Structure 1
Amino acid sequence: MKYTFNNISKFIAAGLLIGGTLSSCTKNFDDYNKNNLGLTDGDLAADGKDLEIFFKTAQMAIYNFSGGGDPNSFQVQQNLNADVYSGYFMSPNPFGNRSNLNYALTNGWNGETFKVLYLNVIKAVDRLQKNGLDKTYPALGAAAKVIKVEAASRVTDVYGPIPYTKVGTSDEIIPYDKQSDIYAAFFAELDQAVETLKAFDAQSPMTDKIEAIDLVYPNMDNQTRFKNWLKLANSLRLRLAMRIVKIDPQLAKTQGEKALNATNGGLLENNTENFKVTVPTDGTFSNPLWFISKNWADTRINATLSAYMEGLKDPRISKYMSPVEKDPALANVQGKYIGIRIGGDGIDKTRYQKLSALNTEGNTPSFTASTAPMLMTAAEVYFLRAEAALRGWANAGGTAQSLYEKGIETSFGQWGVTSGLSTYLNDNTSKAAAYVDPYNAKNNADSPSALTIKWNDAATNEEKLERIITQKWLAIFPEGQEAWSEFRRTGYPRLFPVVVNNSADLIDTKIQIRRLPFSQNEYNTNAAEVQKAIALLGGPDNGGTRLWWDVAKGNF
Structure 2
Amino acid sequence: MKKIRFKLYTPLAAIALIAGTLGMSSCTKNFEKYNTDNTGLSEEDLKADFNFIGGFFPQIQSSIYFNFGNTTADFQLQQNLNADAYSGYLTAPHDFQSNQNNMSYKMIDGWNNSTFNLAYNNVMAPIYEIKRRGAQTIAPDFWAIALILKVEAMHRVTDVYGPIPYSSFGSGGTTSAYDPQSLVYDRFFKELDTANTTLTNFVKANPSLTPFAKFDMIYGGDYKQWIKFANSLRLRLAIRIAKRDGARAKVEGEKALADAGGLLEINKDNVKVSGFGLRHPLFTIVTAWSDCSMGAAMESFLVGYKDPRISKYFDHATAYAGKYKGIRIGSYITPKPDYTGYSIPAVNETKTFTNNTPIQLMVAAEVYFLRAEAALRGWAKPGGSAQELYEKGVSVSMGQWDADAVAISNYLADNTSKPIDYVDPRNAVNNAKATTSITIKWNEAGGFEEKLERIITQKWIAGFPEGQEAWSEFRRTGYPKLFTVVNNNSGGAVNTDIQIRRLPFPNTEYTSNKAEVEKAIQMLDDKKDSPGSRLWWDKP
Distance 1:170 1:346, change over 3 A: closer
Kept after mapping to 2: 8 A contact 1:83/1:89: yes
- Is 1:544 equivalent to 2:540 in the alignment? no
Q: Which residue of 1 aligns with 2:107?
A: 105
- SS of 2:300's partner is helix
Distance 1:209 1:30, change over 3 A: closer
Kept after mapping to 1: 8 A contact 2:4/2:174: no
User: What is the one-letter code of the residue matched to 1:57?
Assistant: Q
- Is 1:308 equivalent to 2:318 in the alignment? no
Q: How far off its partner does 1:289 sit?
A: 1.7
Query: After superposition, what is the alpha-carbon deviation per residue over 1:484-530, rounded to whole angstroms, capped at 9, x for unaligned?
Result: 00000000000011101111110111100000000101112221111
What does residue range 481-496 of structure 1 map to in structure 2 within 5 Å? 481-496=468-483
- Is 1:95 equivalent to 2:96 in the alignment? yes
User: What is the one-letter code of the residue matched to 2:265?
Assistant: E
- More displaced 10-residue stretch of structure 1: 511-520 or 136-145: 136-145
User: TM-score, normalized by length of structure 1?
Assistant: 0.90
Q: How far off its partner does 1:23 sit?
A: 8.5
- Is 1:249 equivalent to 2:249 in the alignment? no
1:350 and 1:70 mapped to 2: Cα distance? 24
1:23 and 1:34 mapped to 2: Cα distance? 18
Kept after mapping to 2: 8 A contact 1:279/1:371: no
Kept after mapping to 1: 8 A contact 2:375/2:386: yes
2:500 and 2:10 mapped to 1: Cα distance? 33
Kept after mapping to 1: 8 A contact 2:6/2:34: no
User: What is the one-letter code of the residue matched to 2:398?
Assistant: F
Q: Which of 147, 157, 160 is matched with 2:159 structurally?
A: 157
- Is 1:420 equivalent to 2:393 in the alignment? no
Query: After superposition, what is the alpha-carbon deviation per residue over 1:201-224, rounded to whole angstroms, capped at 9, x for unaligned?
Result: 375499977333000112xxx5xx
1:182 and 1:234 mapped to 2: Cα distance? 18
Gap regions ≥5 residues in structure 2: 14-23
Kept after mapping to 1: 8 A contact 2:31/2:122: no
Q: Which residue of 1 aligns with 2:255?
A: 258
- Is 1:506 equivalent to 2:504 in the alignment? no
Q: Which of 271, 287, 293 is matched with 1:275 structurally?
A: 271
- Is 1:10 equivalent to 2:2 in the alignment? yes
Kept after mapping to 2: 8 A contact 1:52/1:213: yes
Query: After superposition, what is the alpha-carbon deviation per residue over 1:454-485, rounded to whole angstroms, capped at 9, x for unaligned?
Result: 00000001100000000000001000000000
- Is 1:408 equivalent to 2:404 in the alignment? no
2:454 and 2:251 mapped to 1: Cα distance? 25
Kept after mapping to 1: 8 A contact 2:103/2:330: yes
- More displaced 10-residue stretch of structure 1: 339-348 or 464-473: 339-348
- SS of 1:195's partner is helix
User: What is the one-letter code of the residue matched to 2:294?
Assistant: I
Kept after mapping to 2: 8 A contact 1:77/1:112: yes
Query: After superposition, what is the alpha-carbon deviation per residue over 1:310-343, rounded to whole angstroms, capped at 9, x for unaligned?
Result: 0011010000000101xxxx4xx31111111100
- SS of 1:489's partner is helix
1:175 and 1:262 mapped to 2: Cα distance? 34
Query: After superposition, what is the alpha-carbon deviation per residue over 1:260-305, rounded to whole angstroms, capped at 9, x for unaligned?
Result: 0033x11111111111111424xxx411122111211111110101
Q: Which residue of 2 aligns with 1:379?
A: 365
Kept after mapping to 1: 8 A contact 2:502/2:532: yes
Kept after mapping to 2: 8 A contact 1:178/1:533: yes
2:139 and 2:243 mapped to 1: Cα distance? 38
Q: Which of 353, 356, 380 is matched with 2:343 structurally?
A: 356
Distance 1:390 1:60, change over 3 A: same
User: What is the one-letter code of the residue matched to 2:530?
Assistant: N
Kept after mapping to 1: 8 A contact 2:501/2:531: yes
Distance 1:53 1:45, change over 3 A: closer
Q: How far off its partner does 1:138 sit?
A: 2.3
User: What is the one-letter code of the residue matched to 2:197?
Assistant: E
Kept after mapping to 2: 8 A contact 1:318/1:359: yes
Q: How far off its partner does 1:167 sit?
A: 1.3
Q: How far off its partner does 1:125 sit?
A: 1.1
The two structures, once aligned, show a CA RMSD in angstroms of 2.4
- More displaced 10-residue stretch of structure 1: 29-38 or 527-536: 29-38
Query: After superposition, what is the alpha-carbon deviation per residue over 1:341-366, rounded to whole angstroms, capped at 9, x for unaligned?
Result: 1000244330211100000113x411
Q: How far off its partner does 1:134 sit?
A: 2.8
Q: Which of 457, 463, 467 is matched with 1:476 structurally?
A: 463
Q: Which of 410, 415, 418 is matched with 1:431 structurally?
A: 418
Kept after mapping to 2: 8 A contact 1:56/1:213: yes
Q: How far off its partner does 1:141 sit?
A: 1.6
Q: Which residue of 2 aligns with 1:240?
A: 237
- SS of 1:260's partner is helix
Kept after mapping to 1: 8 A contact 2:394/2:458: yes
Distance 1:37 1:457, change over 3 A: farther
Kept after mapping to 1: 8 A contact 2:6/2:35: no
Q: How far off its partner does 1:140 sit?
A: 2.1
User: What is the one-letter code of the residue matched to 1:182?
Assistant: V
Kept after mapping to 2: 8 A contact 1:18/1:124: no
Query: After superposition, what is the alpha-carbon deviation per residue over 1:351-406, rounded to whole angstroms, capped at 9, x for unaligned?
Result: 211100000113x4111100111101100000000000000000100000000000
User: What is the one-letter code of the residue matched to 2:512?
Assistant: T
- More displaced 10-residue stretch of structure 1: 293-302 or 50-59: 50-59
Distance 1:528 1:356, change over 3 A: same
Kept after mapping to 1: 8 A contact 2:10/2:42: no
Q: How far off its partner does 1:118 sit?
A: 0.9
Q: Which of 173, 176, 180 is matched with 1:174 structurally?
A: 176
1:16 and 1:48 mapped to 2: Cα distance? 15
- SS of 2:338's partner is helix
Distance 1:205 1:312, change over 3 A: closer
Gap regions ≥5 residues in structure 1: 1-8
User: What is the one-letter code of the residue matched to 1:161?
Assistant: P
- SS of 1:374's partner is strand
1:15 and 1:473 mapped to 2: Cα distance? 43
1:499 and 1:359 mapped to 2: Cα distance? 26
Kept after mapping to 2: 8 A contact 1:13/1:174: no
